[in-house]
Amino acid sequence: NFMLTQPHSVSESPGKTVTISCTRSSGSIASNYVQWYQQRPGSAPTTVIYEDNQRPSGVPDRFSGSIDSSSNSASLTISGLKTEDEADYYCQSYDSSNHWVFGGGTKLTVL
């Protein structure tokens, strides 16, 4: 099976842009959809990106997702950072049996 590796933490200032990476250890990142989940402290996860780059209704277009086959990674980019974006972010994809595989999560600090 493969692993999804995320940076443990990232930080950026309000109004700036931050990108969180999610690198797949084996197999092509493009072979299975990637989702991104936001989890604020004490709350359930919510989906900010599904199927690589789709936003659920209600998610602002400051959130975008992409896939880069050259680095075998997915990225979540948040522009115009707000303090409310401070949260843990998890990437998730599927293995060959359609089982979910999660990244370890990235703590985003907006300071």
Partner 1 sequence: QVQLVQSGAEVKKPGSSVKVSCKASGGTFSSYAISWVRQAPGQGLEWMGRIIPILGIANYAQKFQGRVTITADKSTSTAYMELSSLRSEDTAVYYCASRGVYWGQGTLVTVSS
Question: Which residues would be at the binding site for partner 1 (CB under 8 A)?
Answer: 33, 35, 37, 39, 44-47, 50, 56-57, 90, 92, 97-105
Please report how close the Cβ of residue 19 comes to partner 1 at its closest, in angstroms.
20
- Identity of residue 91: C
CB of 70 to partner 1, least distance (A): 25
Cα 57 vs. chain centroid, distance in angstroms? 17
**Which secondary structure element, helix H or strand E, spans residue 69, and what is its range?**
none
Give whichever of 100 and 111 is closer to partner 1, judged by the CB atom. 100
Using alpha carbons, list the distances in angstroms from residue 92 to 15, 17, 33, 63: 27, 22, 8, 16
Would you say 57 or 83 has its CB closer to partner 1?
Answer: 57
Task: Name the helix (H) or strand (E) containing 25.
Answer: none
Q: How far is the CB of 85 from partner 1 (least distance, A)?
A: 18
Strand partners, 50: 54
